[in-house]
Chains A and B, each alone.
Chain A
Amino acid sequence: MEILIMQVSLFVLALMLGVELITKVPPTLHTPLMSGTNAISGIALVGAILAAGNADGGEVARWLGFVAVVLASINVVGGYMVTNRMLAMFKRKD
């Protein structure tokens, strides 16, 4: 139970930190912000790796883990690369 309370605290504090941070992002960067957060939501890859490498749940569970690895990897690689591509366009006029 204590762990759950700690996790909920973490969730709420991170949400509040997120609100504080993201209100400061200028509208010009809202599209890269969205693709950048797409990449961050690819953090599900961490959980997906554990699911795909675990044998307890049988074949169906492992393949679900595999699908999760594929989808999360698309987000991580695609998200960071496309964000970088966009941000480079904003940067080159400095």
Chain B
Amino acid sequence: MLEIGMNLAYLAAAILFILGIKGLTRPKTAVRGNMLSATGMFVAVAVTLLDNSIVSFELIIAGALLGGAIGAVLAKKVQMTAMPQLVAVLNGFGGGASLGLAAASYLQTLGGAGFAEGALGTITLITIALTVIIGSLTVTGSLIAFAKLQEIMPGQPIGFPGMTGFNALLLIGALASSVMLAIDPTNTLYFWLAIGLAAVLGLTLVLPIGGADMPVVIALLNSYSGIAAAFAGFVMGNTVLIVSGSLVGASGLILTNIMCVAMNRSLPNVLFGRMGADTGGEGAGDEIYEGKITSASPDEVGMLLETAQKVIIVPGFGMALSQAQHAVRELADAIERNGGEVLYAIHPVAGRMPGHMNVLLAEAEVPYEKLVEMERINPQFDDCDVAIVLGANDVTNPMAREDKGSPIYGMPILNVDKARTVVVIKRSLSAGFAGLPNPLFALDNTLMVFGDGKKAVVDITTALENG
């Protein structure tokens, strides 16, 4: 009877998760959706505590208090610019939790009733092995992603020739260990070997991926953490784990796909292609830029904005780096007070994770209606007086549209060059992640404002208000 009640409660929890995600389809219903999802979690955890198999609560309570406190501090303290890092570590923790529970479940079955003979036992063991493999590589992969985003490690791709082959060997080794474990369940060596090989695989999969490809990696690891939880659900015979793990897995996969489409690259190309790691270089830029760069002072840009009717701001990772989102909002306010209209053009891969720019601008209280997606904003550059590019580079490079020989040819870009005047705020003429010069900077209608993003924006605002 208790078991039936628990399963019904798990069903209720799964329904609440689904309604919660449904709430996220609109900004207005999103807060309520998150609450519904949290309620589902509460229900699932509460009924689990009634399970007869629990003999002691000390470790459960201690663990929940410790984890809850750490989670609360992280959630309160994290800066919005650091959200990619937080999501990266949470992906890792999610994978780690599934790894831990699957490992504990393996040892408990071994120490308790033992594994069933025949096909059923084999399937259980293979499922446990797959859970720990995905969990383990999610942990180490996420730690590398975190270290790269936090700039503890350099953002450049790190690797050696033949790395893809090495990774394939690691994967084959981990899978072979799983098969050996299924044949000989009591040999724990195979179990730990599968975990260890997967842990190394997580490192070597993410190390060769550069900083600007992190949106794809984070989305993919997000998906892995969900799939690990779903597989852990198979191990524990728990339906709510299976359902919610699959939802998370699907979410990560869709985001991964959106990011890849936005870069016009396939997932294997992002993971193994190492595009732009050593192409182009500074030398190639000199020819394009020679004598064609017009630089402008913040005062000149302020004067230009006085008469502008329509301004489109194009934020990129540089806005996050210089924490310029509040300054940008103040500039937009000043332009609006002057009678101009301001919109924001958001490229899907701007920033270091999906939706990164939207969150930063929401933090600065920019209404979300003003954040316009690429497909809808591109036609609007034609009647735009001034486009302000702040810390974005490759996503505005016209070569992606025009130069068939360019490595980024075919990547969808923001057509900022169609604006009457383009203002690019940038530290220097250095190349973006793709390592390519950007002919946008050399156009006749482009003005370069060199300097720190935040300071430049503040100076332009001051100039506009005093002008």
Interface residues of A (CB under 8 A from B): 1, 3-4, 7, 10-12, 14-19, 21-58, 60-94
Contact = CB atoms under 8 A, between A and B. Distances in A.
B24 interface: yes
A25 B235 CA distance: 31
A81 B229 contact: no
B200 interface: no
A40 B31 CA distance: 15
A89 B24 contact: no
Interface in B30-58: 30-31, 33-35, 37-38, 41, 44-45, 48-49, 51, 53-57
A27 B54 contact: no
B108 A44 contact: no
B100 interface: yes
A35 B90 contact: yes
Nearest to B368: A28
A54 B55 contact: yes
Contacts of B74: 74, 78, 82
A15 B246 contact: yes
B248 A71 contact: no
Contacts, number: 404
A56 B106 CA distance: 10
17 contacts: A18-B248, A26-B27, A28-B355, A28-B358, A29-B358, A37-B222, A39-B41, A45-B48, A45-B97, A46-B241, A64-B100, A68-B63, A68-B96, A75-B71, A76-B67, A89-B363, A93-B368
Contacts of A93: 365, 367-368
A81 B94 CA distance: 16
A17 B34 CA distance: 18
A26 B70 CA distance: 30
Contacts of A87: 27, 30-31, 34
A83 B34 contact: yes
A61 B233 CA distance: 18
A7 B10 CA distance: 14
Interface of B: 13-14, 17-18, 20-22, 24-28, 30-31, 33-35, 37-38, 41, 44-45, 48-49, 51, 53-57, 59-60, 62-64, 66-68, 70-72, 74-76, 78, 80, 83, 86-87, 90-91, 93-94, 96-101, 103-112, 119-120, 123, 218-219, 222, 225-226, 228-230, 232-255, 258, 346, 348, 353-356, 358-359, 362-363, 365, 367-368, 371, 373
Q: Which 3 A-B pairs have the closest CB atoms?
A: A73-B67, A18-B250, A78-B71
Contact of A15 (B17, B93, B250): B250
With most chain B CB atoms within 10 A of its CB, the pick from A14, A21, A23, A61 is A14
With most chain B CB atoms within 10 A of its CB, the pick from A31, A32, A37 is A37
Contact of B107 (A46, A64, A80): A64
B64 A73 contact: yes
A47 B265 CA distance: 37
A16 B251 CA distance: 10
A94 B128 CA distance: 47
Contacts of A92: 365
B63 A66 contact: yes
A64 to B, nearest CB: 4
Contacts of A44: 94, 97-98, 101, 228-229, 232, 241
A73 to B, nearest CB: 3
Contact of A14 (B60, B123, B237, B247): B247
Contacts of B363: 89
Contact of A30 (B54, B76, B355): B355
Contacts of A43: 13, 17, 41, 44, 229, 240-241, 244-245
A78 B72 contact: yes
B78 A82 contact: yes
B458 to A, nearest CB: 22
Contact of B53 (A12, A50, A84): A50
Given A33-B255, A67-B96, A83-B34, A41 B225 contact: yes
B94 A75 contact: yes
Contacts of A36: 20-21, 24, 33-34, 37
A27 B38 contact: no
